[in-house]
Structure 1
Amino acid sequence: MTLTTSLIEEIKTLILLSREQAIRAVDQTRVLMYWNIGKRIFEEEQAGKKRADYGSYLIKSLSEALQPEFGSGFSIRQLERYRQFYRMFPIASALRAQFSWTHYKLLISIEKKDKREYYQLEASSNNWTARQLERQINSQLYERLLLSNDKESVIAVARGEKTPSNPTEIIKDPMVLEFLSLKHEDVYYEKDLESVLITHLQDFLLELGNGFSFLARQKRIHIGGDEYFVDLVFYNRLLQSFVLFEIKTHKLTHQDIGQLQMYVNYYDRLEKQDFENPTVGVLLCADKNDAMVKITLPENNKSIVASKYQLYLPSEQQLLDELKNELGKF
């Protein structure tokens, strides 16, 4: 008698799920243990607050007592981190079950409260893994959104207090495509960039952000007997609209904007349902002249967005400098 393939696969699935649940349970217990340790250190420290150096003495003494028996997880640096963990997340019931200790280590490394809250909310609502959270922090997602939005708006959207009404509240500029592993000096055509984006679609969707679903690549449309092809077609459930991407590996021209406007008009007139919002067009380009884009488009434009892509992770200073430049224009 031979075992059926379906039975073997079913048992394998049960084993893997059980392992995953066990790992998650262990990590949740560890998170709570670190929180309680941080709480006790903080309370003890406050009790001795008349001595300015008591906190340092307390952690150093605890480390010397615990580390020989329990290992490097109780070094001075780690104990300070547990104390910081409690101070930043003082309510145990507010700790999120889907967050591992790695999630919390990343979050407590963010000093600015608004920035930390943003990443916490986004990681929770989008069920980011710790690696995905780390990638979003390293790509300066929060700062990139601030380039075209105010801080209050960014946080309100993350909290679910506000539904995005303008594409710039979701679509980032620049977009960071470091996951493609392309070098800046490499020569590649638009079809090459399109192909590698599809190959890394999951990473691209993560970069695009909330609410995006992929619909089509090289979508054929007919206009007056002629055929045209839209590079990438997405739908965004928050904007409730189609989002069309045209990829340009050169500096953006007014002809590129006109081409995308034609595609947007086509979708608005022939594809969009009455309950849906106007179609959004995104020009993903290697370089752009912001003044040319603004002059080419109507002043009340909300349908076309030009976003420069870069193939490397930006430094925080780069984003801050760009943010200062944007603010200086007003």
Structure 2
Amino acid sequence: MEIKQSLFQQIKSIIATAKDRAIRSVDSERMLMYWQIGKVIFEEEQQGKDRAEYGKHLLKSISDEFQPQFGTGFSVRQLERNRQFYRTFPIASALRTQFSWTHYKILLSIDNQDKREFYIAETDKNNWKARQLERQINSQLFERLLLSNDVKAVLAVARAEKPPSDAKEIIKDPMILEFLGLRRDAAYYEKDLETSIITHLHDFLLEIGNGFSFVARQKRIHLDGDEFFIDLVFYNRLLQCFVIIEIKTAKLKHEDIGQLQMYVNYYDRFEKQDFENPTIGILLCADKNDAVVKITLPENNKTIIASKYRLYLPTEQQLIEEVKFIVNS
């Protein structure tokens, strides 16, 4: 008697779902246990006269008592993290069940409250896995958005308290493309970079911002007998507009901006519907002169954005230097 493969697939799906629920349930209980232990430690600590000294003694005593029986979950370092967990998130009912303990460990490493709130909101909204959250923090996402926005605007968009009204509220400069796996000291043709982006499309969508979906690659357009090819076309549901990306693996030139402006004009006149907002163009370039970009574009420009790409994760100091340069330029 032949058994349908679809039946096997259904059973496998049920098993996988049950395993996933069990893992999440165990992780949730562990997270609540750490929070409760942190609460007990914090409340006991407040009773000591010399709290700093008493706290060290308390953690050492608890670790000596429980670590031999329960393992590294009761190391002094873990007990310190439990205490920090309770102090940072003092309301147990407010803990997000969709976050794993790994999520919270990563969030606890962030000292700045605004920055932490931003990543909480973005993780919640985008359903980031812990690995994705860690990558966004390491790529300085919060700081990159602050290059052209203020903290209140960044947090409001992240919390969905207001829709983005300007492309710069969700599009980063620079963009970090370390996931492409390309050597930063090598020269690439635009086609090579474009192909690598398509190969890693999921990661690229995560990097360029919220609400993007892929539309076309090498989109062909005809203008009175002449043929042109647009590198990449996306659509952003938050901004309700098409987003055209042109790739330049060399330093941006003013004629590149003119070329992209032509593509944006084409989409506005022949592709955009009446209910949609004006098309946005992004020049993804290896390097740029911000003064040239500013003087080439109209003063009220909101549709053309020049964004540098990097093939490696920047250090915090590198980003600070870039902020200083932009502010002073």
Task: Judge same fold: TM > 0.5, yes or no.
Answer: yes
Cα deviation digits, residues 54-106 of structure 1 (max 9, x gap): 11111111011110000011100000000001100001111001100000000
AA of the residue aligned to 1:131: R
State the partner residue of 2:41. Answer: 41
Q: Is the 8 A contact 2:59 2:80 kept in 1?
A: yes
The reply on whether 1:196 has 2:199 as its aligned counterpart is: no
Distance of 1:17 and 1:210 partners within structure 2:
28
Structure 2 equivalent of residue 32 of structure 1: 32
Q: Percent identity?
A: 70
Q: Which residue of 2 aligns with 1:276?
A: 276
Match of 1:247 in 2: 247
Separation of aligned partners in 2, 1:190 and 1:50: 63
The residue number in structure 2 matching 1:77 is: 77
Q: Which residue of 2 is the match for residue 323 of structure 1?
A: 323
- Match of 1:142? 142
1: CA distance, partners of 2:248 / 2:322:
22
Counterpart residue number, 2:167: 167
Deviation at 1:186? 1.8
Q: What displacement does 1:328 show?
A: 2.8
State the shift of 1:205 in Å. 0.7
Point out 4+ residue stretches in structure 1 off by more than 4 angstroms.
49-52
Shift of 1:27: 0.7
What letter corresponds to residue 85 of structure 1 in structure 2?
A: F
In the other structure, the counterpart of 2:258 is 258
- Aligned position for 2:267: 267
1:151 matched to which residue of 2?
151
Moved more, 74-83 or 154-163: 154-163
| Superposed displacement of residue 321, structure 1 | 1.7
Q: For 1:119-164, what per-residue CA distance to the aligned partner results, in whole angstroms no more than 9, with x for missing partners?
A: 0110011000000000000000001111111111111111112221
Using the alignment, how far apart are the partners of 2:86 and 2:219 within structure 1? 51
- Structure 2 length-normalised TM: 0.98
Cα-to-partner distance string for 1:106-129 (whole Å, 9 max, x where unaligned): 000000000000001100110000
Q: What TM-score comes out, normalization by structure 1 length? A: 0.98
Change in Cα spacing, 1:129 to 1:51, as seen in structure 2 (3 Å) is: closer
Query: Displacement, 1:188?
Result: 1.8
CA–CA distance in 2 between the matches of 1:243 and 1:2?
51
Unaligned runs of 5+ in 1: none
| Greater CA drift, 315-324 or 248-257 | 315-324
Amino acid in structure 1 at the alignment position of 2:68: P
SS in 1 for 2:259: helix
Deviation at 1:299, TM superposition (A): 0.4
> Counterpart of 1:180?
180
In the alignment, what sits opposite 1:91? 91
SS in 2 for 1:71: helix
Letter in 1 for 2:8: I
CA distance, structure 1, for counterparts of residue 97 and residue 224 of structure 2: 55
Q: Which amino acid is the alignment partner of residue 9 of structure 2?
A: E
Aligned length: 329
Q: 1:189 to 1:51 in 2, by over 3 A?
A: closer
Offset of residue 52 of structure 1: 4.2
CA distance in 2, matches of 1:288, 1:254: 10
Whether 1:216 and 2:216 are equivalent positions in the alignment is yes
Which one-letter code corresponds to 1:239 in the other structure? L
Residue 121 of structure 1 corresponds to which residue in structure 2? 121
Partners of 1:268 and 1:259 lie apart in 2 by 15
Equivalent in the alignment of 1:289: 289
Which amino acid in 2 is paired with 1:74? F
For residue 272 of structure 1, give the secondary structure of its aligned residue in structure 2: coil
Secondary structure of 1:47's counterpart equals coil
CA distance in 2, matches of 1:195, 1:52: 56
**Residue of structure 2 in register with 1:306 after alignment:** 306
Q: Secondary structure at the match of 1:262?
A: helix
Change (3 A) 1:310 1:254: same
Moved more, 122-131 or 20-29: 20-29
CA displacement at 1:51 relative to structure 2? 4.6
Structure 2: unaligned runs, 5 residues or longer: none
Q: Distance in 2 between matches of 1:103 and 1:166?
A: 30
- 1:7 is aligned to 7
Other-structure match for 2:131: 131
Q: Any idea what the Cα deviations from partners look like across 1:174-228, whole Å, max 9, x if unmatched?
A: 0000001101122321001000100000000110121111111111111122211
- Counterpart check, 1:53 vs 2:45: no
